[in-house]
Amino acid sequence: MSLDPVRYRELIDARVFSPDTFAKALLSRSRRPIAGADGRLIIIAADHTARGKISLGSKPVAMADRYTLLDRLVRCLAMPEVDGVLASADILEELAWLGALENKLAIGTMNRGGIIGATWELDDRVTAYDTNHIESMGLDGGKTLIRIDYSDPGVARTIETVARLTTELADRKLMAMIEPLPYLKDSAGKAILDTSDEALTTVVAIASGLGSSSAYTWLKIPATTRMAEVAAATTLPILMLGGEPVGDSDETFALWATAMNEPNVRGVVAGRTLLYPNDGDPEGAVARAAAVVRPSSPTNSKGTS
């Protein structure tokens, strides 16, 4: 179900003539429990633009066009295999206004201040949702990003902030989704992901202990070939991220499939892998993810996903 261009124009006009309809749409949507009967989730991540991530491979503005992004989100959210979406306020409001969030999870992203390429990139300030508005806008949880590099003093503030937000969300019985990632600085001082499994295991352990309660905390981390060791560092439920779809995506899906054998790995929260796959087929990418996350579902057992 593609996004009607006429409806998109009506959305733009609503921004001018009836801005109150966006909050009303979020508050009036039908909601669902965080975890269904199988305790597994497929969530579409669409909070990359709020941190200045609009490039894809060698294309610097590949993900900048809002109509294209909303169209792909609406199409994916129309699939029963998709449980919800993670996004900033502008996108969640637009999706709710379009009626795409009925009985879907809506997770609001929180600290998006670590703009891609900025000298302060790892000092991830809260520039999107705060906890009060996660609750007052009827969302199901909030997501925070914590990238740990031992040489960057801005990281200490981020750790403190994420701990506070985790406590605030738990107090309200809302999902606190933490994305902990190990980072390094290259010779030019640019922040780069540390891909070692030991480093990932360490940040998983750190993130598990943040806040005054971990009862509502879920972790969002990369899948690795040593997922058994990484997942064993916590009892918290884990959702796997996708990263940038470069080259053959088979490796990503294979890693996901192996990782799903771990008891606390509960699904995926992926953006570019599902929204902008190399073959240009978001629905096909979601179907592949569903076959990995819920291989025994009636749909997938018939081989149609």
Taking a C-beta distance cutoff of 8 angstroms, is the pair 43, 102 a contact?
Answer: no
Residues contacting 111, CB < 8 A, separation 6+: 124, 125, 126, 127, 128, 144, 145, 158, 161, 162, 165
Residue-wise pLDDT for 133-153, tens only, equals 999 999 999 999 999 999 998
When pLDDT is cut at 50, 70 and 90, the band that residue 194 belongs to is very high
Structure tokens at 268: 């995926």
Q: Is the pLDDT of residue 303 over 50?
A: no
What pLDDT shows up at residue 305? 36
For residues 283-290, average pLDDT:
96
CB-based burial, 231-242: b 16+ in 10 Å, e otherwise: bebbebbbbbbb
How many CB atoms lie under 10 A from the CB of residue 179? 26
What pLDDT shows up at residue 53? 84
Residue-wise pLDDT for 150-166, tens only, equals 999 889 999 999 999 99
For residues 253-268, average pLDDT:
97
Q: Just give the CATH number of 5-301.
A: 3.20.20.70
Residues contacting 55, CB < 8 A, separation 6+: 61, 62, 63
Q: Is the pTM of this model over 0.75?
A: yes
Q: Which residue has the tokens 């959305």?
A: 11
What pLDDT shows up at residue 192? 92
Handedness of CA 133, 137, 141, 142 (dihedral sign): negative
What string of DSSP letters covers 85-136?
EEE-HHHHHHHHHTTTTTTSEEEEE----S-TT-TTTT-----S--HHHHHH
Taking a C-beta distance cutoff of 8 angstroms, is the pair 276, 56 a contact?
Answer: yes
Distance CA 166, CA 170 (A): 6
Of 94-98, 118-122, 253-257, 301-305, minimum mean pLDDT range:
301-305
Residue-wise pLDDT for 33-60, tens only, equals 999 899 999 999 999 999 888 877 778 8
How many CB atoms lie under 10 A from the CB of residue 37? 6
What pLDDT shows up at residue 284? 96
Provide the residue ranges of all domains of the chain, joining segments of one domain with +: 5-301
Residue-wise pLDDT for 205-255, tens only, equals 999 999 999 999 999 999 999 999 999 999 999 999 987 665 668 889 999
What pLDDT shows up at residue 246? 58
What pLDDT shows up at residue 77? 98
Q: Is the pLDDT of residue 300 over 80?
A: no
Residue-wise pLDDT for 4-32, tens only, equals 999 999 999 999 999 999 999 999 999 99
Mean pLDDT computed over every residue of the chain: 93
